[in-house]
Homo-oligomer: A and B are copies of this chain.
Amino acid sequence: MTGPRAWVVGTGLIGGSIGFALRGRGWHVSGSDVDAARSGEALAAGAIDAVGEDVAADMVFVCVPAGKVVQVTRECLSRAPGAVVTDAAGVKANIVASVTDRRFVGGHPMAGSEKEGVAGADSTLFSGRTWVLTPTEETDPEVFASLHGVITSLGARPIAMSPERHDALVALVSHVPHLLAATLMDLAGEEAAESAEVLALAAGGFRDMTRIVSGNPGYWPDVCAENSAAIVKEMEELSRRIVDVAAVVARGDREGLLTLLNRARSARSLLPTAYVAAERVAEVRVPVKDRPGALAEVTTLAASMSVNIEDVEIAHSPGGGGGMLVMVVDAGDAGRLTEELGLLGYEAEVRGL
């Protein structure tokens, strides 16, 4: 085997999809799972080349339930001493705070399927999808750049942010919507138990709103436990706003209602559909020598400005040391990113490509 080697731990929907995608790009993929039947299925499906661990792996993907990630990741860091290690859990702060290793970067591919396990796995699952990375001051920039490159090669769009920020945002756009859909479906289900015609009235909009409820519930207890503070905060806020909107309806405030609906419609029009690579790109080169935490700071700044980093690498200075962080971004974004970096004290410069 001369190609790169990956070890996927947990060969379900996400692990299986990573396996398929990596194999399609020339990687040798080993896969292990606490449930031997699942790794056997993944092998039979072609998601992995071999069942078992790979201590010589270049990269390890920990795709186990959120509550098990810390322990499994520590084991993998120890068993595969040369590997970059990442995970795929939907909540990041606890995990990233508990695994402080330069070779580890927390990750969260924002992709899923209504199907469960390797049966739903697909090499294109991540295509055009956001894949969050949570670098910290501890993260080795080389490790980050290498993981960033692999994720980009899978067709995903890596985006860097702090683990805490990630958790607050997914509470809002993923966890709370899921619980909300379940609550709504449950209420309608109770009504339907009394009068069957309820469900006949549930048209396309209702189907859309409750679709995520069809997914595997087993994913959620860990996620809710790990992210309970942010989830509870957003649910309480939402509950208050629902009462406010009910008051708008109760008092027949047509203008108030239209204002809400138009604002929501316009916000939704900004949702990205799928990632499209920039046609014209430029390099932003940032000297990061002797700046601990520079990687996390620079990449999360880019994300907060909606600047997509298409590629990232570390150019070492001849004498060794921190060197240069080189980011490939849309040519139209390079100037404003450089300017913002300047405000943070970075002597960044743009180079056209």
Q: What chain B residues lie within 8 Å of A110 (beta carbons)? A: 201, 203
Cβ distance A310 to chain B, nearest Cβ, rounded Å: 14
- A186, CB-defined interface residue at 8 Å: yes
A255-280 CB contacts (< 8 Å) to partner B: 257-258, 260-272
Copies of this chain, complex-wide, total 2
> What's the interface size class on A, roughly?
35 or more
Q: Looking at A189, A246, A252, which has the most chain B CB atoms within 10 Å of its CB? A: A246
Q: What chain B residues lie within 8 Å of A174 (beta carbons)? A: 201, 203, 205-206
Complex: chain B residue closest to A252, CB-CB: B225
Complex: chain B residue closest to A205, CB-CB: B212
- A208, CB-defined interface residue at 8 Å: yes
Q: Looking at A188, A211, A303, which has the most chain B CB atoms within 10 Å of its CB? A: A188
Cβ distance A88 to chain B, nearest Cβ, rounded Å: 13
Stretch at the interface among A229-237, A324-332, A337-345: A229-237
Q: What chain B residues lie within 8 Å of A2 (beta carbons)? A: none
Stretch at the interface among A72-80, A147-155, A157-165: A157-165
Cβ distance A173 to chain B, nearest Cβ, rounded Å: 4
Q: Looking at A161, A207, A267, which has the most chain B CB atoms within 10 Å of its CB? A: A267
Given that A184-B238, A257-B220 are contacting pairs, would A197 and B249 also be in contact in the complex, using a CB cutoff of 8 Å?
A: no
Bound complex: CA of A254 vs CA of B172, how far in Å? 20
Cβ distance A334 to chain B, nearest Cβ, rounded Å: 17
Bound complex: CA of A132 vs CA of B203, how far in Å? 12
Q: Select A271's contact among B202, B235, B246, beta carbons within 8 Å.
A: B202
Please state if A173 and B201 are interface contacts (CB–CB under 8 Å).
Answer: yes
Cβ distance A135 to chain B, nearest Cβ, rounded Å: 14
Cβ distance A196 to chain B, nearest Cβ, rounded Å: 4
Q: What chain B residues lie within 8 Å of A232 (beta carbons)? A: 246, 249-250
Cβ distance A155 to chain B, nearest Cβ, rounded Å: 15
Please state if B180 and A184 are interface contacts (CB–CB under 8 Å).
Answer: yes
Query: Nearest 6 pairs between A and B by C-beta?
Result: A189-B267, A217-B261, A196-B306, A235-B246, A205-B212, A182-B264
Give 9 pairs: A residue, B residue, CB < 8 Å, sorted on A: A169-B198, A177-B184, A185-B265, A189-B268, A197-B304, A208-B208, A231-B249, A235-B249, A239-B239
